[in-house]
Structure 1
C-alpha cells in the first residue's frame, strides 16, 4: 500500500495514524509510520 507523505490528508490516516501512534509513540511517527507501511 502506498500512502502519501501526509497521511492525515487521507481517510487511511484514521487507521495508519492510530497504528503508528500505538506502535511507535516514542519515536518520529512520520518516519516510522512510513517504514511500516512502505
Structure 2
C-alpha cells in the first residue's frame, strides 16, 4: 500500500486493464457456453 495517499496512474491503468481483460474473458466464456448449448 502507498502511504503518501497519492494515486498512481500506472496502477489505475493496470487495474482498469485487468478489469477489462476479466470482463472480456467472462464474455468469451459465456459465448463459448452459449455456442456449445446451441449445437
- Specify which structure has the bigger relative contact order, considering alpha-carbon pairs within 8 angstroms and separated by 6 or more residues: 1
For Structure 1 versus Structure 2, the TM-score category normalised by the shorter chain is 0.3 to 0.5
Higher helix share: 2
Q: TM-score if structure 2 supplies the norm length?
A: 0.32
Q: TM-score if structure 1 supplies the norm length?
A: 0.32
